[in-house]
Amino acid sequence: MERPAKYYVASSRHLPERLAPWAYPASWGKRWVKGSGEISWQGKRRFVGEAFVGDFVGLRAKRAGVWQVYFGPLLVGELHEAESGNLRTARYRQRK
For the chain, how long is the longest CA-to-CA vector? 63
Type of residue at 56: F
Residue 95 has pLDDT above 60, yes or no: no
Characterize the bridge pairing of strands 66-71 and 74-80: antiparallel
Q: In this structure, are residues 52 and 46 in contact, taking their beta carbons and an 8 Å threshold?
A: no
| Prediction pTM value | 0.74
| Three-point CA angle 47, 94, 14, nearest 5° | 85
CB neighbourhood size of 46 (10 A): 20
pLDDT digits (tens, 9 = 90+) for 40-50: 988 889 999 99
Q: Residue 75 has what DSSP assignment?
A: E
In the chain, domain spans: 22-89
